[in-house]
Amino acid sequence: MSDQTNRQAYWKANLKLVAFCLSIWFVVSYLFGIILVDQLNTIRLGGYKLGFWFAQQGSMYIFVVLIFFYANRIGKIDKQFNVHED
């Protein structure tokens, strides 16, 4: 595989991973926290209503996990396509 096509394949793999992470990002904040908040609020998590919990707690925990998940996976993809730093 030429260097050029290898890099293109790497970029594609990266975009796929980014799209996956951003869809989770969208679901936990915009969908669960705002758009579906009334529906989720009928479920309770201790003293929290679930939609409220996503908006003021849960989305933030998931954001943190997402960043480290991305960093970890893209690090492996870097190595797989041999484009990692020395």
Partner 1 sequence: MDLKTMTFLVVGATFALYIGIAIWARASTTKEFYVAGTGVHPIANGMATAADWMSAASFISMAGLIAFLGYDASVYLMGWTGGYVLLALLLAPYLRKFGKFTVSEFIGERYYSKAARMVAVLCLIVASITYVIGQMKGVGVAFGRFLEVPLHTGVAVGMAIVFIYAVMGGMKGITYTQIAQYCVLIFAYTVPAIFITLNLTGVPIPQIGLGSTMADGSGVALLDKLDMVVTDLGFAAFTAQKWSTLNMVLLTLSLMIGTAGLPHVIMRFFTVPKVADARTSAGWALIFIAILYTTAPAVGAMARLNLMHTIQTGEVGSVDGNMVYADRPDWFKNWEITGLLKFEDKNGDGRVQYYNDKNKDFAAKAASFGWKGNEMVKVDRDIMVLANPEIANLPNWVIALVAAGGLAAALSTAAGLLLAIATAVSHDVIKGMISPDISEKKELLASRLSMAGAILVAGYLGMNPPGFAAQVVALAFGLAASSIFPALMMGIFNKNMDNIGAIAGMLTGLFSTLIYIFWFKGWFFIPGTAMAANTPDNWFMGISPEAFGAVGAMLNFLVAYLVSKVTPPPPEHIQHLVENIRVPIGAGKAADH
Between residues 1 and 47, which has the closer beta carbon with respect to partner 1? 47
Between residues 2 and 47, which has the closer beta carbon with respect to partner 1? 47
User: Which of left, alpha, beta for 6 (phi over 0: left; psi -120 to 50: alpha)?
Assistant: alpha
Which residues within the stretch 26-85 sit at the binding site for partner 1 (CB under 8 A)?
A: 29-30, 33-35, 37-38, 41, 45-49, 52-53, 55-57, 59-61, 63-64, 66-68, 70-71, 74-75, 78, 82-85
Longest dimension (CA), the chain: 58
**Pick from 7, 26, 34, 21: nearest CA to 73:** 21
